[in-house]
Amino acid sequence: MATTDRDGTEHEGLADVRTRIAGAAKAAGRAPDEVRLVAVSKTFGPEDILPVIEAGQRVFGENRVQEAAGKWPDLRDRFPDLELHLIGPLQTNKVREAVALFDCIESLDRPKLARVLAEEMAKQGRHPALFVQVNTGAEDQKAGVLPDEADAFIASCREEHGLTISGLMCIPPLDEEPSLHFALLEKIARRNGLSELSMGMSGDFETAIAFGATLVRVGTAIFGTR
Ligand SMILES: *Cc1c(COP(=O)(O)O)cnc(C)c1O
C-alpha cells in the first residue's frame, strides 16, 4: 500500500500502521481496502496532524466536540476531502455543533441522543453516518448501550427516529482479552444487518481486523504517546 499516494511525503508512524493493517488483513484473508484507518488525533495540534494529512491520510477521529471545533475547520478549508469522526461521548447540548462538524458519529448510545440527533440532522439537512456504541464489557464508567439492549436500541433508532445506522463501535475493557469483545460486537452487528464494525486501537487493531473490523481507530501508534 502506498504511503505517499497524494502529496509525496512520508510519515513513519502512518506508514507503519498502514503496513500492519495490510498484513493483518492479508492474514485474515481480507482485502486491505476493506479496513479503513481512522487516525485518532485527539490532544495533537495542527503541527502534528498536517504531516499525516500530507502523507495521504484523510480520515481522522476526535473524542471531544469542543477540541475538534477548535482545530479542524481550518484544516478542512485546506483539505476539502477530509473525513472527521466523533469517537467520544456526545452530550445533547453539543449535538448541533457535532452534526455541523463531523461526517460520522460513532458514539450513539441512548434514546434521547437518537431523538436529538434526528431532529438536528433534519434541521441542518446534514446526515453524518451513525454508529451505535456498545458497552461490550458492561462497564459502569463506560459509554455505550449494553449488549442485551443493543437490538432494541438499534430498532428504535431505525423505527422511531428514522435514523440510518451504519454499524457498531466498541472499546473493550483494558484488562480483558479484546477478541471476545470483538466477536460479540460482530455477532450483534450481523443479527442486526449491519456491515460496519469500528473496533481496534493501537494495542489491538490487528486482532480486531482478524475479527472483521472495517474501521480501526488508531492514535498512539501513528502520533506517538499523548
Ligand atoms: C483515544 C481513542 C482511540 C485511540 O487510542 P490509541 O490507543 O491511542 O490508538 C480509539 N478509540 C477511542 C474511542 C479513543 O478515545
CATH code, domain with 147: 3.20.20.10
Instruction: Note the pLDDT of residue 9.
Output: 87
Q: Is 88 in the pocket of ligand 1 (CB under 6 A)?
A: yes
User: CA dist 55 to 15, 84, 162, 212, Å?
Assistant: 9, 17, 38, 26
Per the prediction, the chain carries an average pLDDT of 96
Confidence of residue 87 (pLDDT cuts 50, 70, 90): very high
The response to whether residue 87 sits with its C-beta less than 6 Å from ligand 1 reads yes
217 beta partners: 38
Q: Does residue 207 have a pLDDT over 90?
A: yes
* pLDDT value of residue 93: 98
Residue 2 has a pLDDT of 44
Span 187-205, average pLDDT: 98
Band (3; pLDDT cuts 50, 70, 90): very low
**14 in any annotated domain:** no
Residue to mutate, 41, 48, 63, ligand 1, most ligand atoms under 8 Å from C-beta: 63
Q: Per the domain annotation, does 49 fall within a domain? A: yes
Q: How confident is the model at residue 8 (pLDDT cuts 50, 70, 90)?
A: low
Q: Is residue 8 part of a domain?
A: no
Residue 106 pLDDT greater than 70, yes or no: yes
Range of the domain at 150: 27-223
How far apart are alpha carbons 96 and 215 in whole angstroms? Answer: 25
Q: Where are the alpha helices (DSSP H) in 32-146?
A: 46-54, 65-78, 95-101, 111-124
The verdict on residue 17 lying in a domain is no
**Is 21 inside a domain boundary?**
no
pTM listed for this prediction: 0.95
Query: Residue 119: inside a domain, yes or no?
Result: yes
Atom 6, ligand 1: residue with shortest CA distance = 219
The residue-averaged pLDDT of 111-116 equals: 98
Residue 168 belongs to some domain of the structure: yes
Q: For residue 7, what pLDDT is reported?
A: 56
- Please give the tally of structural domains in the chain: 1
Average of pLDDT values for 28-39? 97
C-alpha cell of residue 172: 473493550
